[in-house]
A = this chain, B = another copy of it.
Amino acid sequence: MKVLVLGAGQLARMMALASKPLNIELRAYDVGSAQVVDPLSPGISFGDLSAGIEFANVITAEFEHISHQVLAQCEASGKLLPTSQSIKTGGDRRLEKSLLEQAGVNNATHKVVSTKTDFDDAIATLTFPLIVKSALAGYDGKGQWRLKALAQTEAVWREVDTFIKEDTSGQSQAVVVEQMVSFDRELSMVGVRSKTGKTQSYPLTENHHTNGVLSVSLATNEYQSLQSQASDAFNKIANALDYVGVLAIEFFQVGDALLVNEIAPRVHNSGHWTQQGADTCQFENHIRSVCHLPLGSTDLIRPTAMINVVGTDSVPDSILSIPSVTMHWYGKTKRAGRKMGHINVSGSDKKELLYRLQQVAKQLPKIDFPEVSNYVNQLL
């Protein structure tokens, strides 16, 4: 079996690591260079997209911001899983919101806005505070505006209008104006759906962000009471898309209810803990599902946390002296704000996990991990 992944970043790399023991050969299409590479040894080109399509039995994606032309070419081969529609939905908040409505899944009250008239209508209909999010691109905190009162509307509109007009995506840009949700915490969940429609969900994960970028994920099985609500949302969304593969859902928890914030039609940063904490990791389960192998169990085997390594290419070796600390570097060149790797930490129970997490946090330089220590300490 041969798999082509659209995108040649760390997610393709970790899929490749999960594929090797299954004797599945994986190559990745680097959208920047428009060349097919081996994500475990980049540098040698295996040709262009057509060569990659020819090579593969199955084509999948590691991210949702892929040109529609590339998606169309892949879909025409009959090998693309999940469908281009699923991938596009993850890359366009308009499609995403319409999917959530269609699937009957709780989400924040919102309006799609392209013009000043739409915007004024949204302001008139929705209740402050509002959050304005770009429809296309703009994850990890980019392309977002907060709108707390009527007095700000003109200023925000000017920025939004410029943003819409300056968009170079070639698709029509817009924004979604959402009523801000006063949530207790952000949770996310990764699940997997097979071609035959079988679904399995991983335990809900608690996430902490720093400057809009995921910093720490914590998977402990303690959100059992919300798990069936989350799995239900996953099933509705995945079934509505006739989805095949791993899909991530970000939720807002408001009391006993979960609202879907957004979805990602792919393996997800908040699911990296599954490499050490779950029976089958998200990367293997994605590969299993798109290659029509039986899905692996998504059970938690040990409470596990993940710490993102952002913008630095070194951490103290001494953290590896702490039991159940596993380093995952992505082999990338350092750049400010770039996700360079992650650290997984496990324990036999939550108490042991938090103790180890605290030991790790103490050794991580504050400059590279500004909020990790504080976040971990307030968990204790």
Q: Are A279 and B41 in contact (CB under 8 A)?
A: no
| Chain B residues with CB under 8 A of A328 | 21
Number of copies: 2
Chain A, residues 8-31, CB within 8 Å of chain B (1/0): the string is 000001000100111100000000
Q: Is A320 an interface residue (CB 8 A)?
A: yes
Cβ contact within 8 Å between A293 and B279: no
CA distance A182 to B302 in the complex (A): 41
CB distance from A319 to the nearest CB of B (A): 8
Smallest CB separation, A241 vs chain B (Å): 24
- State whether A294 touches B318 (Cβ < 8 A): yes
Q: Which of A44, A317, A346 has the most CB of B within 10 A?
A: A317
A331 interfacial contact with B, CB 8 Å: yes
Q: Tell yes or no: A181 within 8 A of B by CB.
A: no
Say if the beta carbon of A152 comes within 8 Å of chain B. Answer: no
Instruction: Provide 5 A-B residue pairs closer than 8 Å at the C-beta atoms, listed in order of the A residue.
Output: A22-B329, A280-B326, A288-B320, A293-B317, A301-B302
A326 touches B294 (CB 8 A): no
A376 to chain B, nearest CB (A): 20
Residues 315-328 of A, flagged 1 when their CB comes within 8 A of B and 0 if not, give: 00110110111111
Q: Is the CB of A40 within 8 A of B21?
A: no
Give the complex CA separation of A234 and B73 in angstroms.
58
- CB-based nearest B residue for A313: B23
A317 and B294 form a contact (CB under 8 A)? yes
How many chain-A residues does the 8 Å CB contact rule pick out? 36
Name A's B-contacting residues (CB within 8 A). 13, 17, 20-23, 38, 40-41, 44, 279-280, 288, 293-297, 299, 301-302, 317-318, 320-321, 323-329, 331, 341, 346, 348
10 further A-B contacts with Cβ under 8 Å, apart from A21-B327, A296-B326, are A17-B17, A17-B20, A40-B41, A279-B323, A288-B320, A293-B317, A293-B320, A294-B320, A297-B324, A301-B346
* Shortest distance between the CB of A301 and any CB in chain B (Å): 6
Give the distance in Å from the alpha carbon of A40 to the alpha carbon of B13 in the complex: 13
CB proximity of A273 to chain B, nearest CB, Å? 14
Bound-state CA distance A325–B44 (Å) is 34
CB of A251, distance to nearest CB on chain B (Å): 26
A21, B329: Cβ atoms under 8 Å?
A: yes
Q: Is the CB of A321 within 8 A of B294?
A: yes
A297 and B276 alpha carbons, distance in the complex (Å): 14
- Which chain B residue lies CB-closest to A302? B301
Chain B residues, Cβ within 8 Å of A22: 327, 329
Q: What is the bound-complex CA distance between A144 and B115, given in angstroms?
A: 85
Cα–Cα, bound, A317→B279 (Å): 17
Q: Closest 3 interchain pairs by CB?
A: A297-B323, A23-B329, A294-B321
Q: In the complex, what distance in Å separates the CA atom of A329 from the CA atom of B288?
A: 14
Neighbouring B residues of A321 by C-beta, 8 Å: 294-295
CA distance A337 to B280 in the complex (A): 30
